[in-house]
Structure 1
Amino acid sequence: MSGRSLLVVGAGPGLGGAVARRFARDGYAVGLVGRDAARVAELAAELRAAGSAAESAIVDITDVAAATEAVTGLGQRLGSIDVLHFNPSAFRQQDPLHLTVAGLLEDVALGVGALLTVLQAARPFLASGARVTATGSMAADEPWHEAASLGVQKAGLRNLVRSIDATLAPAGIRAVSVTVRGTLAEQGPFSPGRVAEAIHAAAGRPAEDWRTEVAYDGSGDGTGDGAAVD
């Protein structure tokens, strides 16, 4: 394939799908990584019907070997990865008195650790100008104690994105986490489509004005000076 391409890790009917559709409208070929074969196939078919090139892989991204193979294969089929979007997180409704160490580590492996796997596999396909984006959450700063692992995941994800940006910036590749300061809903300012617009805008921020974290509070696209944070 030629032209720009997007790889969405954690593709499905919600925000992952909305991000895929938003970039596809700009002419991006789209690679989809997900666990639900039926939902990923449906999204890929929708993108193709709208005129976009779409490739997909069904894999458990916590399986390092399988995820590495899947991302490498998609990178080869796409030819390049201009935007890598990381969307997954685990929701486990357990407070600190009930959350086990094993449960916490399992969730962090999905919501944080898997980003290392897909980034390392995608790196040969990321050239100068490429962007890495991640779905952040206000849970990083304001965790709900009844789902304690989610806050740990989102705080860790934001921290890791900062390290990724510092590591890749000399190669002209930048990374950003988009902190969603609200609860995702089917309609309204925190609908998947609106949040996808914020992620798209964050990826398109000029290098000279780059931020490693951008907050989206539902009032705009998340790139205004009042919403962005370093």
Structure 2
Amino acid sequence: MTVIAIVGAGTGLGAAIARRFGTEGFAIALIFRNQKKLDLLAEELNAEGFTARGYAASVRDPGTLTAALKQAERDLGPIEVLEYSPLPQEEFLRPVLETTVADLAAAVEFSIYGPVTAVHQVLDGMRTLGRGTVLFVNGGSAVRPNPSVAGTSIAFAGEAALATMLHDTLGAENIHVGQLIIPGAIEPGHPQNDPGALAQRLWEQHARRDTFRVYVEPFPSSK
């Protein structure tokens, strides 16, 4: 069975991605910190006719993330699509002059060590399948630094660099890497930033495989 692993699978965007890919026949591995919340979401998705299982892990703990992805592969099969969109933690969403070394360390664990760990774990399975997709979701600070959220601005820039290098390196192996940039907040009912609309964008990036970086909406021009 074709499998998508959603790292950061909450009830908003993660659930929307699960439903969009599930509609296309994907089994769904849900990865999040809280097993109870995962079980509730998986139960809801299974009741709707999808195949979903939850695996608790912290993206800041490579051991738990690796173990979760390994178990998902044992339970569901090789992961064809890896989607990485955990919600940044408030502790490193600080203005630049208030951001400490500890804040940056946490942000780097979250946005660089986490995706590196996840990609390394799923890569062998994608190579076995002969295809794969890795999808990164980031806020606008990934491409335009915001001094109000220095930790994510710095770490998201690193994640964007990682995504770019993976895209350039893995394309020859039929593994597509894409990045979706969401300049504003995810907002139910918003024409572009509704979770369902964003999930559709991610599906199109996977299905079309012709674009690396997609902006949900244009940035306002800089003054």
TM-score, structure 1 normalization: 0.87
Partner of 2:4: 6
1:135 Cα offset (Å)? 0.5
Partner of 2:80: 82
Which deviations, in whole Å up to 9, do the C-alpha atoms of 1:123-157 show, x marking residues without a partner?
Answer: 12213221010102211233332211122222222
Unaligned runs of at least 5 residues, structure 1: 219-230
Unaligned runs of at least 5 residues, structure 2: 219-223
Partner of 2:221: none
After TM superposition, the structure 1 = structure 2 runs for residues 20-169 of structure 1, keeping only pairs within 5 Å, are 20-90=18-88, 91=90, 92-126=92-126, 127-169=129-171
Aligned residues: 213
CA distance in 2, matches of 1:195, 1:97: 33
Answer whether contact 1:134 1:177 (CA < 8 A) is retained: yes
1:64 Cα offset (Å)? 1.4
1:195 Cα offset (Å)? 1.0
Correspondence for 2:195 among 181, 192, 195: 192
Answer whether contact 1:5 1:80 (CA < 8 A) is retained: yes
* Structure 2 residue 172 is matched with structure 1 residue 174: no
* Structure 2 residue 217 is matched with structure 1 residue 217: yes
Answer whether contact 1:158 1:213 (CA < 8 A) is retained: no
CA distance in 1, matches of 2:168, 2:144: 26
1:89 Cα offset (Å)? 4.2
1:95 Cα offset (Å)? 1.1
CA RMSD of aligned residues (A): 1.6
1:56 Cα offset (Å)? 1.7
Letter of the structure 1 residue corresponding to residue 217 of structure 2: D
Give 1 or 2: higher helix fraction: 2
Which deviations, in whole Å up to 9, do the C-alpha atoms of 1:47-74 show, x marking residues without a partner?
Answer: 1011111122101122112211111111
Q: Which moved more, 1:143-152 or 1:194-203?
A: 143-152
Which deviations, in whole Å up to 9, do the C-alpha atoms of 1:184-227 show, x marking residues without a partner?
Answer: 11221211111111111111114xxx222111118xxxxxxxxx
Letter of the structure 2 residue corresponding to residue 95 of structure 1: P
Answer whether contact 2:4 2:82 (CA < 8 A) is retained: yes
Letter of the structure 2 residue corresponding to residue 61 of structure 1: V
Alignment CA distance shift 1:188-1:68 (3 Å): same
Which deviations, in whole Å up to 9, do the C-alpha atoms of 1:19-41 show, x marking residues without a partner?
Answer: 11111111111001100222211
1:43 Cα offset (Å)? 1.2
CA distance in 2, matches of 1:93, 1:60: 18
Alignment CA distance shift 1:89-1:164 (3 Å): farther
Answer whether contact 2:62 2:113 (CA < 8 A) is retained: no
Partner of 1:221: none
Partner of 1:203: 206
SS of equivalent residue, structure 1 residue 7: strand
TM-score, structure 2 normalization: 0.89
Answer whether contact 2:39 2:53 (CA < 8 A) is retained: no
SS of equivalent residue, structure 2 residue 5: strand
Answer whether contact 1:8 1:20 (CA < 8 A) is retained: yes
CA distance in 2, matches of 1:66, 1:141: 29
